[in-house]
Amino acid sequence: MAKTKTKFYCTECGYESPKWYGKCPGCQSWNSMVEETVSSSVKTQGMGGMNSSLLQGTQKPLSIVDIEGGQEPRVDTKIGELNRVLGGGMVPGSLILVGGDPGIGKSTLLLQTSHSLAATGLKVLYISGEESVKQTKLRAERLGALSPQLYVLCESNMEQVELAIEQIAPDFLVIDSIQTVYQPDVTSAPGSVSQVRECTARFMRIAKNGGIATVLVGHVTKEGAIAGPRMLEHMVDCVLYFEGERHHTYRILRAVKNRFGSTNEMGIFEMREEGLEEVTNPSELFLSERAMGVSGTTVVASMEGTRPVLVELQALVATTHFPSPRRMGTGIDYNRLNLIIAVLEKRMGLYMQTQDAYVNVAGGVRLDEPAVDLAVAVCIASSVQDKPTRPYDVVFGEIGLTGEVRAVSRAEQRVKEALKLGFKRVILPAKSLKGWKHPQGIELIGVETVSQALKAALE
């Protein structure tokens, strides 16, 4: 009978230890060691011990000058927003990890993608370790995702999954989810560090040697990170996060890692009864319920990758009832909000030491770029002075600590998006006016300081 013992693994870096540490010796993370049961008579096969015919590689080292170049071939998923985030389409042989909160729509998105690819004649294998084939069929009927080239299997044993892949020889493979798949030779439970690491390594070799585009669905922790070892994200080619508020119907797909494209792109979907529907014009969507002639609101032009997005910013400044005023930002960085308030107090003379400040990005979007600084400052000043901004103004620019307004990138695309949606004026950094042809039909106001911007916006 095999002797069993326990080992401790770091969920961040995979460091292995016979005893528990409060601080991982490998990556210095606190409280990241978890206990797992292992068998001394079993050796994990790793990436080098795979027996499947798909996994046997016979490649020899080549000189880099002898390797054929060119662009990676792309497969159109027929879903424009997904193509945008992936960098133009699905790359054969790529390994993609999709994470998101429970019920956010990960399985729905992948089932729709599977149907779109199967409708073009590609073989698609959808393996679910959490739902039965009947449950998957019910969702597919609701989504209208029924195709003879779409094969469904309910299995979590890695060896059985490999046999199914050999039998079907799919062009596109979905594993829902990686935390449910287990390797029988590894004695720890499914979802543990060693199981996730071993199974992901096998899927990586299957994808690379078989040229199969593979998508792994990953669970997330309560902090929002993908569960399992951190090396899981290092092993895959692309990491996508599916985000959204439960009280909003809009979902945002972001790439935080992409070896075949940009990590700045964003795809926007709307969850409906018949599934996820693409939002081709997010600016018009986010501005559809905007209030006119109210203080503390303005429109900012933000860039999400190569796409300009116009979003409404709202601010509310009210007298505080606490010894220290509250600062709260939804959709923007909290530290950046404090910095902008400090600049307004020091450089603009706005007294806010007895005022609570609340800033919100309408629509549930998160804006991380510095170009939204000037719009935040205009919103706060408008609420403090109780002066409404013009309803057809767009504001963007970065604020420095001395009160100057710094230039931002892609000013031309932001202005064109504002013109397309019918805005009349754009307040932007003066240095961003150089080097491009200004379009007709919209007034551009270049400012060098925050005081100039407030004067132009609140006059």
Residue positions forming the annotated binding site for ATP: 100-107
Tally the C-alpha atoms within 13 A of residue 140's C-alpha that lie toward its C-beta. 22
Residues contributing to the annotated binding site: 100-107
